[in-house]
Amino acid sequence: MADFVRTLSREVLNTGPKGAETREWLVANGLGGYASGSVSGAVTRRYHGLLIAALPAPLGRVLMLSQLSDVVIDSDGHRYRLSSRDTGGDPGGGDPAGGEAEEGQTAALQEFRMEAGLPVWRFRAGGAVIEKQVVLPHGQNIVHVTYRVMEAKAPVQLRLRPVLAFRTLESAVDRPLAGAYRITATGQRYEVSAGPDLPVLNMAIEGGDFPMTLDGGIRRDVYYRVEDERGYQSRGSLWTPGYFSGEVGAGQSITFAAATEDWWRLEALPPADVLGFEAERRRRIIQNAHPTLRGGAMAELVLSADSFLFVPAGRVADQMRARAEGDEVRTVIAGYHWFTDWGRDTMIALEGLTLATGRHLEAGWILHTFGHYIRDGLIPNMFPDGKDRGLYHTADATLWFFHALHRYLGVTGDRDTLRLLLPKLREVIDFHRRGTRFGIGVDPRDGLLRQGQEGYQLTWMDAKVDDWVVTPRRGKAVEINALWHNALRLMAGWLREEDGEAAARPLEELADQARASFNARFWCPSAGHLFDVVDGEHGDDIACRPNQIFAVSLDHPVLERERWEPVVETVRKHLLTPVGLRSLAPGCRDYKAKYFGDLRARDAAYHQGTVWGWLIGPYVDAWLKLHPEDKAGGRRLLEGFLPHLDEAGIGTISEIFDAEAPFTPRGCISQAWSVAEVLRCWVKTES
């Protein structure tokens, strides 16, 4: 897998505020669970851990193993810590890793690399060189942490201290699920339990004689720097049962394994086979992708795309229903670390995550999964973690469903899926015409789609703090009506193909009405661009936002051709950055240049200038409609993301960025639609 390695040198890792502690890695397990942390080893977020297990509702994703405190003792008795104990600026000196409280210097981190998307550290500890690697077997709540002694004059002693606190992913760091832990041992098997309603954490060392010394207890005052910066509880307690200890010589390796799975699963394969099989799985993922995505940075993003596709382990009934129908359940994690699966994000990301990467079967399963959940003409906005039922407060996710299905059919020609979903899509159109939940419905006077209900945020600009909806956009939003027109045209085409012209005609007439009204109402001559919302609570909103680009970019543009160029030029001039589009133009009243601070401050900036990476996709689409021969120009619009793969989440793309240089990455370190749109457009701009 040497072709798919991203290496960070010692010089990069030791560079100021963008060093090892602010860079993060992540490995997913295909169930919604994952392992993730800072490159330095410091646990700076509540979401960091070596095993976040995906468990059936009502638990959802649960942090089981926070970290391994790992110490090397050489033949002269010198001690070297592998995981950082940097306090991250904590004036109280708390230990972010919950690490071993013993003297010793920090080993020199010589190199960090993502090898086919799997993290590997290389340390120098005195005269010894040691590599550490994390692997999650796909489809299992298991983690392997392997230590290889690459160089050593004499065997070194390794001490590995598991540090844990059973806690749901979204819980505050001071609120573990258990008040007391119990460890039991049977031979070399160790089990940590915390009550009948929680899973058992099984632990073992493979590859050497590593008995455990029990000296454990609560380790207090652990400090989570990023949680503090984000305005959340930042001090909590972790628990350790003790430490494993043994010797490893040059050329030898040992693996710490932990799991919520049964012992027979944990011990089914030796660690070398687990790594080999996972490496082969990742090689096949890359080889199945579009040819232009099989090397370099794009291959890394193909592997990142894999991390978002998952079987929702928590929704057992959903899996049983699908399998009873001869189907499979697949869905998309919207972003790591805190998102679950969101309907809007899934439909926007589907093409890049699955069609560009050759995973057509899974694309169909995703469409079937969300089709099953259509209620009152809507697909779910999102599924809360640990819940079986979705929430439906969205005006655009269902309209994106039409777009995703169209792109899927264009690649696969799967008429069976179309015929399966067509009755549900008829229902969607009917509900939108006569009105459905949250004030979503067509205004019969002009055929435009309006939406809005007090206390709800229904468009993708969906920030809300308590009862404050930051950008409510109630009324007739520009992208909602571009999507509505697109959906009507697509539906008319499918009905024409399946049932004939008479079936299609009423929808074509609705689309004609919506298009005429859109062009009459949304163009603002004084601004030279489109209104963001018309017939809103306070009239028409002239704010310059990226939502207008969809009037050009979609497969059936609602905007008249002669107005494409001024819209695209407005977006280019005021909103375009190297890493996506600003959500509001500089100079507008509510513009915020930076996204930082506590939850209220961040959400106030979330859609008020903050750059969104995924929006580069529709901008590239619109650009190529105006300049169809300039694929090289379209490709250049994507190249600003390439340096970003070395910062924030290594080998992936963040959710958002500050609105002005240096465009600091913010939000989730790895976002599905950011990755998907770059992959999709990379294919689209191939010369």
Confidence of residue 164 (pLDDT cuts 50, 70, 90): very high
Question: Contact, 203 vs 266, CB < 8 A?
Answer: no
345 is a domain residue: no
Residues 589 and 526 grouped into a single domain: no
Residues linked to residue 182 through DSSP beta bridges, in sequence order: 193
Tokens linked to 415: 């008429």
Q: d(Cα 147, Cα 245) in Å, to the nearest integer?
A: 13
Q: Is the per-residue pLDDT at 97 higher than 50?
A: no
Residues 555 and 583 in one domain: no
SS3 557: coil
Q: Residue 190 is encoded by which pair of tokens?
A: 């160790």
Number of C-beta neighbours around residue 70 at 10 A: 27
pLDDT band at 86 (very low <50, low <70, confident <90, very high): very low
* Residue 203 structure tokens: 């632990």
What pLDDT is attached to residue 3? 60
Q: Are residues 457 and 597 in the same domain?
A: no
Is the domain of 15 the same as that of 150? yes
pLDDT exceeds cutoff 60 at 155: yes
Task: Tell me the three state secondary structure of residue 12.
Answer: helix
Q: Domain check: are 530 and 669 in the same one?
A: no
Q: Which helix (H) or strand (E) holds 335?
A: strand 335-336
How many domains are there within the chain? 3
| Shared-domain flag, residues 493 and 551 | yes
The answer to whether residue 403 is domain-embedded is no
* Cα torsion 223, 225, 227, 228: sign: positive
pLDDT tens-place string over residues 252-306? 999 999 999 999 999 999 999 999 999 999 999 999 999 999 999 999 999 999 9
Predicted TM-score (pTM) of this structure: 0.95
Examine the pLDDT at 216 and tell me if it is beyond 80: no
Please check whether residue 629 lies inside any domain of the structure: yes
List the one residue out of 347, 280, 343, 359 whose CA is nearest residue 116.
Answer: 280
Domain end position, chosen among 257, 283, 309: 283
- For position 17, which CATH number holds? 2.70.98
User: Who wins on pLDDT, 94 or 138?
Assistant: 138
Of 515, 550, 573, the position where a domain reaches its end is 573
Is residue 411 included in any domain, yes or no?
A: no
The two tokens of residue 508 are 């074509």
Supply the range of the domain harboring residue 514: 438-573
Given 254, 283, 312, the domain boundary residue is 283
Query: 408-433: per-residue pLDDT in tens?
Result: 999 999 999 999 999 999 999 999 99
pLDDT, residue 10, reads 77
Using CA atoms, how far apart are residues 477 and 533, in angstroms rounded to an integer? 4
Query: What's the CA dihedral at 357, 360, 366, 368 to 10 degrees?
Result: 170
Averaged confidence pLDDT in the chain: 92
Please determine, for residue 232, whether its predicted confidence score (pLDDT) is greater than 60. yes
Does 208 lie in the same domain as 272? yes
User: Do 566 and 633 share a domain, yes or no?
Assistant: no
pLDDT band (50, 70, 90) for residue 469 = confident
Does any domain span residue 318?
no
Question: Does residue 560 sit in the same domain as residue 659?
Answer: no
How long, in residues, is the chain?
687
Q: In this structure, are 197 and 95 located in the same domain?
A: yes
Please indicate, yes or no, if residue 288 is contained in any of the structural domains: no
Give, in order, the Cα–Cα distances in Å from 191 to each of 241, 257, 259: 10, 12, 10
The answer to the question of residue 307 being in a domain is no
Same domain, 251 and 190: yes
Tell me phi and psi for residue 288, to 5 degrees: -80, -15
Whether 660 and 639 map to the same domain: the answer is yes
Per-residue b or e along 658-679, where b marks 16 or more CB atoms closer than 10 Å to that residue's CB: bbeeebbbbbbbbbbbbbbbbb
Is the residue at 589 inside a domain?
Answer: yes
Distances from the Cα of 327 to the Cαs of 123, 208, 332, 482, 543, in angstroms? 46, 43, 17, 33, 45
